[in-house]
Structure 1
Amino acid sequence: MNEDTTPAARTQLGSSGISVRPVGLGLMGMSQFYGAADPDVSVATIQDAIELGVELFDTSDYYGASSATPGRPVPGFGHNEELLGRALKGRRDRAVVATKFSARPTPEGRSFFDGRPEYVRAACEASLKRLGTDRIDLYYYHRLDPAVPVEDTVGAMADLVVEGKVRGIGLSEVSTEILRRAHAVHPVSALQSEYSLWERGVEAEVLPECRRLGITLVPYSPLGRGMLTGAFRRGAEFGRDDFRSTLPKFQGENFESNLRLVRELERFASGAGATPGQIALAWLLGRHHDIVPIPGSKHPNHVRANLAATSVRLSADDVAALGALFDPVRVKGGRYGALNTLRDDTEE
């Protein structure tokens, strides 16, 4: 095999004219889904990440509006954007800000999706205010509103680009048909979908279509919601405020079987002088040069370790062997459980 697996020094976000270093930072866990987080520590972590060289910061107006467990208190809609806004004071020009719209909470603690053109504009104005900025670098349509044609929603997003409020537009978790329809209205810069060694659903159709259209893939959960870091052992338990307590891959026999795959990943990493998480990220970066993973973290040490994955060199044979180790038929459990009403899209 002679495929070049050396990570790119910078990656273009589609045709937006924006380029970033190849590992970003997902912020969702600073507001919800993975237990409590100290807002001051979160702001400090974002600022440290900027100093370490992270450029792409991924948030959403929804992060903070929902809980993994119905009835549990949550920080509130817009909380995550406000955290990022605090952290970027005096540092805005050193960051590429990606945020999202469409997911909206109900008083009953559930969610719905709003893709109406008038809501696109209102949501953007509200996000700009929370972020404390005059522009959003990458604006994602978080989840599709089935009642509104995607062309109408993307048309409203395109208007925001013309007005200078948005630099590039993105979609999240959509089919190839929707991707093509959206791209015909306005060039889509990025598609955000779950992708990692242990979740490979985009490989058959979505990833090839992104490459055909010149769209950058931004994988969320690139570390398998923490599983691929080797942080868990047999019998691990997840609290009621931890999203993983609802996910099939983390349940019972599925969890124990998946742990055995991670033990093999740990052995590979030890031989390569790296951590399992670094190998998992290096595998993604070694796939092609149009991928920017956004691992989440609540601590600067984890950010630093994730960035070090760009220095890990895997041969094409290594990439193939790791892919075979985590062949989808060997990974047990689906992506989501029955309780999950919103499919989240960042991960540590």
Structure 2
Amino acid sequence: MTIKHGPELNRRGLLLAAGGLAAAATVDVASAQTAAQPTASAAASTTAIGRRKLGALEVSSVGLGVQNMSRTYQQTIPTRAEMHNIIRAAFDNGLTFYDAAEAYGPHEVERILGEGVEPFRDQIVIATKFGWNIDLETGERKPGLNSRPEHIKLVVEGMLKRLRTDRIDLLYQHRVDPQVPIEDVAGAVKGLMDQGKVLHWGLSEMGLNTLRRAHAVLPITAVQSEYSMLWRGPETGAIPVCEELGIGFVPWSPLGVGFLNGAIDARTRFAEGDIRGIEGRFAPENLPNNLALVELLKVWAERKQARLGQIALAWLLAQKPFIVPIPGTTQMAHMIENIGASAVSFTPAEITELNQSVAAIEIKGARLPDVVQAYSDVEAPTKS
């Protein structure tokens, strides 16, 4: 498949660019309409969003990923004013946890978030990430990763300006740099904490030994990795370690890039350049099998009078009390719907039943192309 080059990349497109590919083109997806799902009282219920702890950091039980607010998967550019409206409406509905990254945009998503939350900055938690090799001034993506301590300090200075704030509540290393010992990364972050510029820190998609080493040097508040009904890898890796060490867990892509809210069906074919088109789990030969998961969600959505995505998010919340998903959206209705997932509850018998049903569905196809997966589960070099 030929991948077209384009001016911007979505989250996975960024990984492809770092690995030597560029993924940016229009998307032609035959979407199943979520509007056809049952109307749910839970969708409108945002007053009981609740709070959870990531380590010692308290956040709303559902967060908001803002990664697509400068450019969507479909490569359209959302209206900036509407993105501000969504950010502010989320806060009005009890959401206090916003997730960004230097790499999203790059830089531009942090600017949008900083503008949006300025009126209530002191009442929320901002998380953002460093680690890709991005020009500090222009935002140009360069090959590979960069977690050199001196670079981290400069990156954070830029983040503070773009976010219009004097501190970052939760700073993640976006991907482990195989050239830099994690102890050196922790040392750089510790220096920023001593200056009050960073309050908590975390890792994303790291190797488990690196997580333990990092936590031993400077206690980790949260780990961020892909986790959903569609991708359950962390259940046997990162989540048990987080539970052991008292670290929070933040699932990205908790709705499986649209799959778990019905946006992909057996007829879906992706346009050239859409990263999902080269993910094995969405290949035409695998989709019919994997859609059994969506059919299961439909059964539970009707049973709970909720939306498909709400069931998927509520399932995550039911797995562990230290899990806080961060679904991303550029649509107001979807943001309200996602927050409403916190009002969907399961009895112990129901969650046991649902867990068994999910486990019985074997997902076919890899979650990411090899060139992208190569950036996950990386162990930092030992410190000499």
Q: TM-score, normalised by structure 1?
A: 0.87
Query: Given that residues 61 and 78 in structure 1 are in contact (C-alpha distance below 8 angstroms), is that contact kept between their aligned partners in structure 2?
Result: yes
**Aligned to 2:62, which of 10, 23, 31?**
23
Q: What do the CA deviations read for 1:53-107 (whole angstroms, capped 9, x no partner)? A: 211100000012xxxxxxxxxxxx2011111112122221232100000112489
Check if 1:317 corresponds to 2:349: yes
Q: Which residue of 2 aligns with 1:118?
A: 150
SS of structure 2 residue aligned to 1:286: helix
SS of structure 2 residue aligned to 1:217: strand
Check if 1:306 corresponds to 2:335: no
Q: 1:27 to 1:343 in 2, by over 3 A?
A: farther
Q: How does 1:266-281 map to 2 (within 5 A)?
A: 266-281=298-313
Q: What do the CA deviations read for 1:185-244 (whole angstroms, capped 9, x no partner)? A: 111000001111121111113111101111000011111111111233331233345432
Q: What do the CA deviations read for 1:294-346 (whole angstroms, capped 9, x no partner)? A: 011111111111111111111223223323333286111111124648969xx
Check if 1:104 corresponds to 2:133: yes
Query: Given that residues 50 and 94 in structure 1 are in contact (C-alpha distance below 8 angstroms), is that contact kept between their aligned partners in structure 2?
Result: no
Aligned-pair CA distance for 1:258: 1.3
Check if 1:47 corresponds to 2:88: yes
Query: Given that residues 133 and 141 in structure 2 are in contact (C-alpha distance below 8 angstroms), is that contact kept between their aligned partners in structure 1?
Result: no
Rounded to whole Å, the distance in 2 between the matches of 1:126 and 1:282 is 36
- Corresponding letter in the other structure for 2:233: G
SS of structure 2 residue aligned to 1:203: helix
Rounded to whole Å, the distance in 1 between the matches of 2:68 and 2:273 is 11
**Aligned to 2:204, which of 152, 162, 172?**
172
Q: How does 1:86-235 map to 2 (within 5 A)?
A: 86-105=115-134, 111-235=143-267
Give unmatched runs, 5+ long, in structure 1: 1-6, 65-76
Q: 1:189 to 1:195 in 2, by over 3 A?
A: same
Query: Given that residues 265 and 287 in structure 2 are in contact (C-alpha distance below 8 angstroms), is that contact kept between their aligned partners in structure 1?
Result: no
Rounded to whole Å, the distance in 1 between the matches of 2:322 and 2:242 is 9
Aligned-pair CA distance for 1:245: 2.4
Aligned pair count reads 324
Q: 1:207 to 1:125 in 2, by over 3 A?
A: same
- Corresponding letter in the other structure for 2:78: D
Rounded to whole Å, the distance in 2 between the matches of 1:323 and 1:143 is 30
Check if 1:255 corresponds to 2:287: yes
**Aligned to 1:85, which of 76, 90, 114?**
114
Query: Given that residues 199 and 328 in structure 1 are in contact (C-alpha distance below 8 angstroms), is that contact kept between their aligned partners in structure 2?
Result: no
**Aligned to 1:11, which of 31, 35, 52?**
52
Rounded to whole Å, the distance in 2 between the matches of 1:285 and 1:192 is 15
Q: 1:246 to 1:111 in 2, by over 3 A?
A: farther
- Corresponding letter in the other structure for 1:100: K
In percent, how many aligned pairs have the same letter?
Answer: 40
Give unmatched runs, 5+ long, in structure 2: 1-47, 377-384
Rounded to whole Å, the distance in 1 between the matches of 2:349 and 2:365 is 27
Rounded to whole Å, the distance in 2 between the matches of 1:326 and 1:111 is 38
SS of structure 2 residue aligned to 1:100: strand
Q: What do the CA deviations read for 1:250-277 (whole angstroms, capped 9, x no partner)? A: 1112122212321121122111111111
Rounded to whole Å, the distance in 1 between the matches of 2:65 and 2:162 is 17
Q: Which residue of 1 aligns with 2:43?
A: none
Check if 1:239 corresponds to 2:271: yes
Q: What do the CA deviations read for 1:96-141 (whole angstroms, capped 9, x no partner)? A: 1000001124899664111111011001001111111111000001
SS of structure 2 residue aligned to 1:29: coil
Q: Which residue of 2 aligns with 1:3?
A: none
Rounded to whole Å, the distance in 1 between the matches of 2:68 and 2:50 is 27
Query: Given that residues 198 and 327 in structure 1 are in contact (C-alpha distance below 8 angstroms), is that contact kept between their aligned partners in structure 2?
Result: no
SS of structure 1 residue aligned to 2:233: coil
**Aligned to 1:61, which of 83, 102, 114?**
102
SS of structure 2 residue aligned to 1:88: helix
Rounded to whole Å, the distance in 2 between the matches of 1:343 and 1:229 is 27
Q: CA RMSD in A?
A: 2.2
